[in-house]
Amino acid sequence: MKPLFPPALKKSGTIGIVSPASPQRDKSRLDKGIRYLESLGYNVKLGKYSTSRFGGYLAGTDEERLSDLQTMFSDPQIDAIFCSRGGYGSARLLAGLDTTLIKKNPKILVGFSDITSLQLALWKKCGLVTFSGAMPSVDMAETFDPTSEEQFWRVLTSRKPLGTLKQPWSMNAVQQGDAEGRLLGGNLSVVCSIIGTPYMPSLSGSILALEDVGEESYRIDRLLTQLVYATHRARPAGVAYGFWSQESRPRGSTPHRDVMEILAERIDITRGPILTDLMYGHEPTKLTLPFGVLTRLSSRTKRMSLLESAVQ
């Protein structure tokens, strides 16, 4: 897949905000996120249905949410598209994506968690490089972690190779090796939910970054087992695991097991390097990962490096 790089976000550019998944839990958080963006000199344009609600857990009907997204891609005044939050619902939009429109108007698209399905589909159908990271109603509604903030804006604006991802702690190697490939991944549950559909890209030769939130260890085991079975003929070149953000007291009667034990068992997910403790996932301190960018993962250096810019 030849990557389609979006234009870099320019100073004083216009950011469109959409809600492809769940509605706002608290609209004041979105308002705070908007004020943060405006304080940096950006203009903000809200999607028509970005604060809507439908069926309890969706931010508007599928048609409304899809309309907002595609309107932002077609609007020449919009320089980047930020998803307000995750939740659930992005996968319901995939069949309606106008990939011809998106290919003609490549733009920065930022979001994580449930937005994973949209990002993987856009890579599969368009080759569009997208950004798995901070969102206005989540990270920008409170004090933006300084380490995360600096890297977030750099990855959206710099036309230079992004280089080694810096984080306050070292990654740890589960399996040795060095590998290069296109960076893909996202939320493990969402990745597995679109396996076998026309919107799931091949993971063959990729550097796969995975995270999840609130899942008990046996469910992570189940999801990783499914992923291993589904990719046995097209395995990633290397795997980096981020945060799992588990509850301190797991629900139900299933005995708790350290998730690191499960990761150590599932080394058959790749023949290449497997590293843990990537600063990525559902925590305030997080890296923004540009999916589609050529990436190196090394157990020797215990680092992940982005070998090119994510924007043009």
Asked if 226 and 132 sit in the same domain, the reply is no
Q: How many CB atoms lie within 10 A of CB 256?
A: 13
Q: Within 10 A of 164 (CB to CB), how many other CB atoms are there?
A: 12
Provide the annotated active-site residues.
113, 211, 282
Residue 9: inside a domain: no
User: Is residue 198 in some structural domain?
Assistant: yes
pLDDT for the residue numbered 248? 67
> What pLDDT, on the 0 to 100 scale, is given for residue 240?
98
pLDDT of residue 250: 54
Q: Consecutive sets of 10 residues in the chain, 312 residues long: mean pLDDT of each?
A: 95 97 97 98 98 97 98 98 98 98 98 98 98 98 95 98 97 98 98 98 98 96 98 96 84 78 97 98 98 98 98 98
- Give CA–CA dist 90/114, Å, rounded: 6
Same domain (yes/no): 117, 49: yes
Q: Give the span between the Cα atoms of 269 and 235, in whole angstroms.
A: 7
CA nearest neighbour of 136 among 26, 289, 278, 246: 26
User: For position 251, what pLDDT does the model report?
Assistant: 60
Q: Which of 157, 183, 206 lies at the terminal end of a domain, its last residue?
A: 157
Residue 26, pLDDT score? 95
Q: Are 199 and 296 in the same domain?
A: yes
Task: State how far the Cα of 303 lies from the Cα of 80, in Å rounded to an integer.
Answer: 29
Instruction: Please report, for the domain that includes residue 210, its CATH number.
Output: 3.50.30.60
pLDDT value at position 308?
Answer: 98
Q: Which of 119, 139, 157 is the last residue of a domain?
A: 157
Q: Tell me if 1 is assigned to some domain.
A: no
According to the model, what pLDDT value does residue 255 have?
Answer: 73
For residue 241, the model assigns a pLDDT of: 98
Number of domains in the chain: 2
Q: What is the CATH number of the domain that holds 63?
A: 3.40.50.10740
Please give the pLDDT value at position 59: 98
Q: What is the distance, to the nearest Å, from the Cα of residue 265 to the centroid of all Cα atoms in its chain? A: 25
How high is the pLDDT of residue 256? Answer: 84
Question: Which is nearest to 242 in space by CA: 162, 140, 167?
Answer: 167
Domain of residue 291, residue span: 163-306
